[in-house]
Amino acid sequence: MSFADDYKEIQRFEQALMSGGDLSYDLSGFTQFVFDNADFTVATLTGHNTFHSMGGIACVTSPDSVNNSPIKRKVKLQYSEIIGTFGQSPIKMYSKPALPGVQSVIIQPLKRSNQEPACLRSAFALDSLWVSGYILEIVPCPSWSGFMKVAMNNDQYERSRIVTLPFINLDPSNLCTIYTALCFAQAQCEKHGLQVCPVTFDQPLYIKAAEIVASAQDLDKVVVRLGGFHLLMSYLGSIG
């Protein structure tokens, strides 16, 4: 075979991968979606003409939950216009309601009970043990991350598989971009039979995502979460 024939076979194989039906991300385990802004600086000297988009990943536990399906051979090459739409998320328009949706959210205080699971009780005990080290001025007292690494060294855990999701080519702070990401995540959960759709954002995007979920009627499975770092910063900001 000549080089041209080999190149054409490679093209057929690539297009067979892309035209094998709906794109599947194998989200058969516990899945959490994470979306954040993805910036590509075109002009680094001036800071102008920077491309902004929304990028996302899916964290799947356990990592071995992958369904391999056979690839059908592609004989005829597709047009570039068709191939160019592969893996793209169509933009969904969001209309902001007149009244804020978060007004319907009821916040209740957390109450501890005697029926707490053992893992939660041990967490409170470890917190108290670490704080007592500073009160009693034990030297050297490890930092929180070092203390938790030693305390949880023998605990069993599972690794997660990271799946790259398609970019949403729109300003990430736009409400339509966030709404598109939430709809995409819920559609993938429904496709893979997942009952809950956890989606994590950082602080600026979380505020808007929580408002959208509270107002929208078609995002009943979505649970918006704040990233761990930004959650900690929110608590520190609340106490000054």
Residues 32-79: tens digit of each pLDDT: 999 998 877 666 666 666 777 888 889 888 766 555 556 566 566 555
Predicted structure pTM score? 0.67
| Predicted pLDDT at 177 | 93
Mean pLDDT of 230-239: 78
Mean pLDDT of 83-95: 71
Q: How many domains does the chain have?
A: 2
d(CA 101, CA 176): 16
Q: Mean pLDDT of all residues in the chain?
A: 77
Asked whether the predicted pLDDT for residue 178 surpasses 90, the reply is yes
Mean pLDDT of 164-188: 90
Q: Based on the fold, state whether residues 191 and 89 are members of the same structural domain.
A: yes
In a domain, 110, yes or no: no
Q: Based on the fold, state whether residues 54 and 124 are members of the same structural domain.
A: no
In a domain, 109, yes or no: no
Q: Based on the fold, state whether residues 93 and 183 are members of the same structural domain.
A: yes
| Predicted pLDDT at 213 | 92
Residues 98-141: tens digit of each pLDDT: 777 777 777 777 676 666 667 677 777 888 888 888 888 877 77
Range of the domain at 165: 3-104+157-238
Q: Based on the fold, state whether residues 84 and 176 are members of the same structural domain.
A: yes
Asked whether the predicted pLDDT for residue 184 surpasses 80, the reply is yes
Q: Based on the fold, state whether residues 91 and 15 are members of the same structural domain.
A: yes
Q: Based on the fold, state whether residues 129 and 222 are members of the same structural domain.
A: no
86 versus 149: the higher-pLDDT residue is 149
Q: Based on the fold, state whether residues 180 and 142 are members of the same structural domain.
A: no
Q: Based on the fold, state whether residues 65 and 161 are members of the same structural domain.
A: yes
Q: Are 19 and 78 in contact (CB under 8 A)?
A: yes
181 versus 112: the higher-pLDDT residue is 181
Edge to edge, the sheet with strand 161-168 lists 161-168, 50-61, 30-41, 197-201, 222-226
Q: Based on the fold, state whether residues 207 and 96 are members of the same structural domain.
A: yes
% of the chain residues with pLDDT over 70: 70
d(CA 187, CA 58): 13
169 versus 223: the higher-pLDDT residue is 223
Q: Based on the fold, state whether residues 54 and 136 are members of the same structural domain.
A: no
In a domain, 122, yes or no: yes
21 versus 14: the higher-pLDDT residue is 14
Q: Based on the fold, state whether residues 26 and 130 are members of the same structural domain.
A: no
In a domain, 113, yes or no: no
Q: Based on the fold, state whether residues 39 and 126 are members of the same structural domain.
A: no
Nearest partner of 206 among 238, 178, 180, judged by Cα? 178
